[in-house]
Amino acid sequence: MFENGNGKEIGFMVNTDRLLKLFIELCSIPSESKCEREIAEVVSRKTKKLANEIWFDEAHKKFDGNCGNLYIKYNGNVDMPPVLLNAHIDTVPVKGEIVPVIHNGIVKSKGDTILGADDKAGVAVIIEVLNTIIEKQLPCPPLEIVFTVAEEIGLLGAKNMDYSKLNSRYGISLDSAEVEKIVNAAPSQHTLKVEIKGKAAHAAMNPEEGINAISLASRAISMLPWGRIDEETTTNVGKIQGGVATNIIPDSTIIDIEVRSMNNDKLGNFTKQIESVFKDQVEAAWIKNENKIHRADMKFKVNKEYSSFKISSKHRLVKAFLNAGCKLDIAVEPVRIGGGSDANIFNQHGIESVIMGVGMEKYHTSEEFIRISDLNKAAFLLLEALAALSHK
């Protein structure tokens, strides 16, 4: 049973020892994006006896990975439309061997690398919850479980799924930090690539004959606001490439930028503002050499990564988690975040989805860790939320 802060045991039974053992086993398996085959086969074996149907798709063939998304269907015991459960099985790049260790109720990596709680914690919680439902014959709607690949490099697994294979109306993605926070809103994102072409020249012998692409980019960047633009919008210059040597005026540079907003009009308008500022600087840059005019040029590419979503706090999904929190004496609250996840893609495809936390902290760093109590709490909360969804 789940023990609240007052020492009172409440809620359904979860095998916490089994959950921890599975989590540690999964973390020990390297699974960088596009290299998920080993962990996918382990997860497949561990869920084969639990599933009514299980299969892999071929999404990976569209982005040169070695494994597709893993689908698991469980028929449930309540007559209602299925619910989608999701976690991703890939991680950010790993430096060295992952050796999970436990100290004072915390799991972390022994070496100088990530732990992989993002998102092995979500995978482990889903498997343990499915085990518990079947063993205890607990109330549960039909489940469509998808363990996605290549989430960390642009949600590629979710973007390339065949959604005609799914019948879910609602979805729960286990891919956030705080267990008490249910994410019911997240922004849209544009990634921008600006390529500026100038003209090379010797920086000391004839600098007048060059057009400095890096200088043009710097002027444009200095004219724009960055960081938090308003309560709904953020933007960032994340990467600049260019130049060959200090004695050569750089004739090209590439700038990678992102813009995120809950408001798609703001997203579009600020993207256009960035393009306009860069364009003005480039068009004003020209030189005349031997009666020939040389002008700077620019390519501006916009990639729409994902769309925003906002699920009402009165939605059945959110209410299920609020009710589960009340039963477990956990103060659950709906929140908005600034990042994107597979849930953004599910919402785009008509599966109304929220994100629940699994307790991961300092993820994507060598200091990543998770409290065992939070891992357990996530399993209890998901189990109770599914039971709440089962009540018509």
By the 8 A CB rule, do 186 and 308 touch? Answer: yes
Does the annotation mark 367 as catalytic? no
Does the annotation mark 90 as catalytic? yes
Radius of gyration over every alpha carbon of the chain, rounded to an integer in angstroms: 25
Q: Which residues contact 97 (CB under 8 A, 6 or more apart)?
A: 111, 113
3-class DSSP state for residue 179?
coil
Token output for 134: 């079947």
By the 8 A CB rule, do 29 and 38 touch? Answer: yes
Residue 342 is inside which H or E element, if any? helix 342-348
- Distance (Å, whole) CA 264 – CA 188: 7
Catalytically annotated residue among 36, 151, 175, 180: 151
- Distance (Å, whole) CA 98 – CA 178: 23
Question: How many other C-beta atoms can be found within 10 angstroms of the C-beta atom of residue 239?
Answer: 11
Token output for 9: 């045991």
Token output for 107: 């799991």
Catalytically annotated residue among 90, 180, 251, 368: 90
- Distance (Å, whole) CA 112 – CA 99: 10
3-class DSSP state for residue 127?
helix
Q: Which residues are catalytic?
A: 90, 151
